[in-house]
Structure 1
Amino acid sequence: MSDPVEQLLAILDLEKLEEDLYRGVSPDNGWQRVFGGQVIAQALSAAIRTVPEERGCHSLHAYFMRPGDPAIPIVYAVDRIRDGRSFTTRRVVAMQHGAAIFSLSASFQRHEAGFEHQLAMPDIPKPDELPDAKALEETLLQNASPAVRRYFQRQRAIEFRPIFMEHYLSDDRLEPYQHVWVRCRGEIGDDPMLNTVILAYLSDMTLLDTALFAHGLSVFDERVQAASLDHAMWFHRPARVSEWMLYTQDSPSSSGGRGLTRGSLYGLDGTLIASVAQEGLIRPRRGET
C-alpha cells in the first residue's frame, strides 16, 4: 500500500478474533521494532471497540515492556474492568511470541458540561510561515546527519513543521524544549474516535527527543540507546487531526538512565486539545561515555 495515510488507517483497522480479542499488523517499513505510537493507537482502538459510542476516551496510561516484532501480528486482549453510569474503564494487554509487550489502561466518559479553563498556546510562528518538507530538504537538512535526513524525508501519514531545527543540527547542549506543528496528511473526517486514535499515534513522535537536547544529543545519535518506557495522555477537547496542531514539548528532568518529557497539543485556534507525559530510556550504548 503506497499511500501512507491509507496504510495508517489499515493498521488501525483491527481484526476481531473473538469477543474482546483483536489482532493488528505492522507496516513493512524495514524497522527493527514496532513504532510505540502504533501500539498505543492499536491498543486504544481495541478498547474503543468495547465501549458505548457516546463515551469518549479522556485518558490513557500505558507501559512498554518489550520491543514489538514488526514481522508478526500483535494480539490485543481487552479486559472490561468497569462500566459505570458516567465512566467506563478498560485494560488492554498486547501479546507477541506468548508474552506481553505492552499494557494500556484507558478511561472513557459520557459527555458532560463543566468548568472550563486552559493555559494559553505559546505565541510562535504559524505553519504557513515555516519551511515545508521540500524547503527543509533544500536548506536545513543539507547540514543534517544521514539519520536525521532519512527521518524527515520519509513518506509518512503525519506531516511535521518544526519551529527550529538547531537541536538536530548541532552538538551543543541546548534548552530541553521544542515546538512542532503536526497534522495528518489526508482528510480523516469528523469521526471522534478515529481522530482520538490518530492523535494518540502521533503523540509518541518527537517527544522523547526533547530529553536529549540538554545533553547535545538526539534519538538519531548512534551513541544513544533510547526507548519509550511509559506514556500517559489526557484528552481535553475534540481533535481534528487533518488540521494543523502545535505540539509543544519540554523535559523537566533526566536521571537514572531515564528522561521525562511533557507535551501539549493545541489546535490552530489556540484550543488545548490534549496533554501528554512520557518517560523514556536514554543512556549511552555500551562502550560509549
Structure 2
Amino acid sequence: MDHESVVEFLGNVPLLQRLPSSSLKRIAGVVEVRHYNEGEYVIREGQIADGVYFIWDGKAEVCGSTDSEERNHSMLFLKQYDYFGHGSGVAVHQADVIALTKVTCLVLHHVNRALLQPKSIWNAEDSSDSCSMVEHILHLEPLEVDMFRGVTLPDAPSFGQIFGGQFIGHALAAASKTVDSLKLAHSLHCYFILPGDLSLPIVYQVHRIREGNNFATRRVEATQRGRIVFTLFASFQKSEQGLEHHDVMPAVPAPEMLLSLDELRERYVTDPRLPSHYRNRIARKKFVPWPIEIKFCDPTTSFVNYPSEPSQKFWFRAKGKLSDDPALHRCVVAYTSDLIFLGTSLKPHQRKGVKMSSLSLDHSLWFHKPFKADDWLLFVMESPVASNGRGFVVGRMFNRNGELVISASQEGIFRRANQSTPDPKSKL
C-alpha cells in the first residue's frame, strides 16, 4: 500500500477526520501494517495493546467477559475503518479481538499517540499563537465525533450579535471535519434562524446525510440554549477532471494599486480637506480591525449616503499566513462572503439621514476551483432585485489569474433602523 492510499484510508476513519490534513500525512508515515489470518487473535484480553489499531481490511469480533464467574460473553463486530485501543493508553485490554477473516490492521504505536491530539483542527505543527486571526476565529473544539464547540473571541468582529460569516465558517469547518480530507466542499446552503448570543458558546452538531465514493453530504445545526439558531447543508466532492469554462474577470485595478480599509480610515481621519466634524466622528467611532484585508476597487462610491448602482467590487485576503489545510481556506472565504455582501442591495435606496438595518436570511456558495484565501481574490457583487422588504445579491470571486473560483448568493431583509419587530427574539 502506498502513502497516498494510506492517507485516503485514514481520512475515512471517523476518529481521525477532525485532525488537520497534515496530521493524517504524518500518521500515514509512521503506522505499522500487520496481517492476521482467520481465527487468529489480534489482541488478547489482559494484554497491553501496542497502540491504536485501525481495520484496513477484513472483519473481526470483540469478545469480552462481562461476568468473570458466569462468563457471559458479549460480541461486537469490527469492519473496515473501525478502530480499537484508543483512549486506553498503555492499560490492559479488556477483551479479545479475533479475526473472522483475513485482517489487515494499521497500528499507531503509543509513542506517536500525540499525533491524535494536535493543538488545532487546522495545523498539527505550529503553536496556535502563530496563526492568523481568522484562523483563531474559525477554530473549533471537538467534543466528540460529529460534535464541536465554537466561541466568539473578544476581539473578533461583531455587530451586536454573532456575525453571520462566523456561523457559516464555523459550520463549514464542523462539516469539513467529518469527511475524508480528500473531499472538499463544492457547495453550501444555509439559513440564519435566530440571532446569536456573543457571550455564549455555540454547539455544532453534524449529521452524516450521505457517504459516497466521490461525494458526501452533511447537515449542521448550530445551537445555543438548546435552540437551533443556524443551519447549513454542505456537499463535498473528491477532485476529478472534467469540462471547463468560466466568465472573464472584469477589468479592475490590481490590489497593490489600492488602499485597504485600514489605510482609508487613516486617510479620512488626517485629510485636512475633509470637514473637521467628519474627521472627528470617524476618529471617535470604535474601530475593530477585521481579520480580512479589503481593498475596494472604487472607494469613492463605497461609503456614500446617496443612491448609487447596486454593484461593487473589492479585493480581499486573510491577514497573515493561513495553515495549508485546503478546508480552512474554504472556511475563510465562507466567513468573508458575508462581509458587505448584502449591503450591495441597499445602495440604490440610500438617503441622507435615513438609517437602515439589514438581516441575512439565507446564503449559498459554490466552490469551482482550488484557491488560497491568504492570496488576493476579487469579489464582484451585484443586486439584480429588491422586493417585498428583501434584497437579493449575487457574487463571483476571481483569483489573480482571472479564473472564476467561487460563486455566491444571499438574500436578506431591510428595515428602517428605528422600526420595531413583532418578536424581539426572532430575526423575522
TM over 0.5: yes
8 Å CA contact 2:132–2:322 kept in 1: the answer is no
Larger radius of gyration: 2
Tell me what 1:161 maps to: 295
Rounded Cα–Cα distance in structure 2 between residues aligned with 1:129 and 1:149: 28
Greater CA deviation, 245-254 or 184-193? 184-193
Establish whether residue 136 from structure 1 lines up as the match of residue 264 from structure 2: yes
Rounded Cα–Cα distance in structure 1 between residues aligned with 2:232 and 2:130: 26
Tell me what 2:140 maps to: 14
Greater CA deviation, 85-94 or 8-17? 8-17
* 1:173 alignment partner AA: P
CA-to-partner distance for each residue in 1:80-103, whole Å, 9 max, x for gaps? 000022210000000001111000
* 1:20 alignment partner AA: D
Gap regions ≥5 residues in structure 1: none
Tell me what 1:209 maps to: 343
Greater CA deviation, 55-64 or 137-146? 137-146
Rounded Cα–Cα distance in structure 2 between residues aligned with 1:4 and 1:65: 34
Tell me what 2:153 maps to: 27
Rounded Cα–Cα distance in structure 1 between residues aligned with 2:419 and 2:324: 50
Runs of 4+ more than 6 Å apart: none
Q: Secondary structure in 1 aligned to 2:393?
A: strand
* 1:266 alignment partner AA: F
Tell me what 1:247 maps to: 379
Tell me what 1:177 maps to: 311
Establish whether residue 77 from structure 1 lines up as the match of residue 205 from structure 2: yes
Greater CA deviation, 164-173 or 259-268? 164-173
Q: Secondary structure in 2 aligned to 1:137?
A: helix
8 Å CA contact 1:7–1:27 kept in 2: the answer is no
State the TM-score, normalized to the length of structure 2. Answer: 0.62
Rounded Cα–Cα distance in structure 1 between residues aligned with 2:204 and 2:235: 17
Rounded Cα–Cα distance in structure 1 between residues aligned with 2:360 and 2:419: 22
* 2:348 alignment partner AA: A
Tell me what 1:126 maps to: 254
Tell me what 1:40 maps to: 168
Residue 73 of structure 1 deviates from its aligned partner by 0.2
Rounded Cα–Cα distance in structure 2 between residues aligned with 1:211 and 1:149: 28
Q: What do you get for the CA RMSD once the two structures are aligned?
A: 2.5
Gap regions ≥5 residues in structure 2: 1-128, 421-428
8 Å CA contact 2:262–2:289 kept in 1: the answer is no
Rounded Cα–Cα distance in structure 2 between residues aligned with 1:150 and 1:272: 36
Residue 189 of structure 1 deviates from its aligned partner by 4.3
In structure 2, relative to structure 1, the CA distance for the partners of 1:168 and 1:51 (3 Å cut) is: same
Establish whether residue 188 from structure 1 lines up as the match of residue 322 from structure 2: yes
Residue 188 of structure 1 deviates from its aligned partner by 1.1
Residue 9 of structure 1 deviates from its aligned partner by 1.8
Rounded Cα–Cα distance in structure 1 between residues aligned with 2:283 and 2:225: 32
State the TM-score, normalized to the length of structure 1. Answer: 0.90
Establish whether residue 200 from structure 1 lines up as the match of residue 334 from structure 2: yes
CA-to-partner distance for each residue in 1:211-249, whole Å, 9 max, x for gaps? 00011259xx87212111100000001110111111110
* 1:98 alignment partner AA: G
* 1:160 alignment partner AA: I
Equivalence map 1:101-116=2 (5 Å): 101-116=229-244
Tell which has more relative contact order, 1 or 2 (C-alpha 8 A, sep 6+).
1
Residue 132 of structure 1 deviates from its aligned partner by 3.5
Q: Secondary structure in 2 aligned to 1:241?
A: coil
* 1:136 alignment partner AA: L
Q: Secondary structure in 2 aligned to 1:253?
A: strand
Q: Secondary structure in 2 aligned to 1:45?
A: helix
CA-to-partner distance for each residue in 1:111-168, whole Å, 9 max, x for gaps? 11000000000001111111244541244566679579958x5322100110123444
8 Å CA contact 1:5–1:185 kept in 2: the answer is no
Rounded Cα–Cα distance in structure 2 between residues aligned with 1:250 and 1:27: 31
In structure 2, relative to structure 1, the CA distance for the partners of 1:5 and 1:155 (3 Å cut) is: farther
Tell me what 2:417 maps to: 285
Rounded Cα–Cα distance in structure 1 between residues aligned with 2:135 and 2:189: 23
Alignment identity in percent?
39
Residues paired across the two proteins, number: 283
8 Å CA contact 1:181–1:246 kept in 2: the answer is yes
* 1:157 alignment partner AA: P
Tell me what 2:393 maps to: 261
In structure 2, relative to structure 1, the CA distance for the partners of 1:103 and 1:287 (3 Å cut) is: closer
Q: Secondary structure in 1 aligned to 2:228?
A: strand
Q: Secondary structure in 2 aligned to 1:198?
A: helix
Rounded Cα–Cα distance in structure 2 between residues aligned with 1:257 and 1:6: 38
